[in-house]
């Protein structure tokens, strides 16, 4: 291998490694839902339902939001309980009738990235 080829090979490896490490930091910067109660697409007994969402990273509880999407499409904010853990949001949904619901969440990771999503479930 000539000196020029060796230099290009090392530079290419360095470029690939820097891309991999920078990409993993970007991916890990977002809070991703890893566990939900009620579980996604599950059927639970009402009328009261405990909501607990756990993420892959710490979240800013004071700037995060939980809402309940009712069967008729109306949105009702849920009061977030005191933090159980730095990566978890919890709340209580009360007086739910039979039907399909969604927990709509928005969290702010401690690095400033916002992520959102829904957890669909049914009450029987």
pLDDT per position as a tens digit, 90-103:
999 999 999 999 99
Q: How far is it, in rounded angstroms, from Cα 8 to Cα 5? A: 5
Question: Of 89, 26, 100, which Cα lies nearest the Cα of 61?
Answer: 89
Which residues of the chain, if any, have pLDDT below 70?
1-29
Question: Of 101, 38, 40, which Cα lies nearest the Cα of 71?
Answer: 101
Q: For residue 117, how far is the Cα from the chain centroid?
A: 7
Q: How far is it, in rounded angstroms, from Cα 9 to Cα 4? A: 9
pLDDT of the residue at 30: 82
Which of these CATH numbers, 3.40.640.10, 3.40.1160.10, 2.60.40.1220, 3.20.20.150, describes 31-123? 2.60.40.1220
């Amino acid at each position: 291998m000539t000196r020029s080829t060796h230099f290009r090979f090392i530079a290419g490896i360095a470029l690939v490694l820097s891309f991999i490490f920078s990409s993993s930091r970007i991916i890990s910067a977002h809070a991703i839902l890893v566990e939900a109660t009620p579980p996604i697409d599950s059927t639970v007994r009402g009328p009261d339902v405990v909501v607990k969402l756990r993420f892959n990273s710490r979240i800013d509880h004071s700037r995060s939001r939980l809402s309940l999407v009712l069967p008729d499409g109306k949105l009702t904010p849920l009061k977030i309980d005191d933090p159980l853990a730095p990566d978890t949001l919890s709340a209580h949904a009360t007086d739910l009738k039979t039907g399909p619901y969604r927990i709509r969440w928005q969290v702010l990771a401690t690095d400033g990235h916002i992520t959102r999503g829904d957890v669909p479930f049914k009450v029987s």
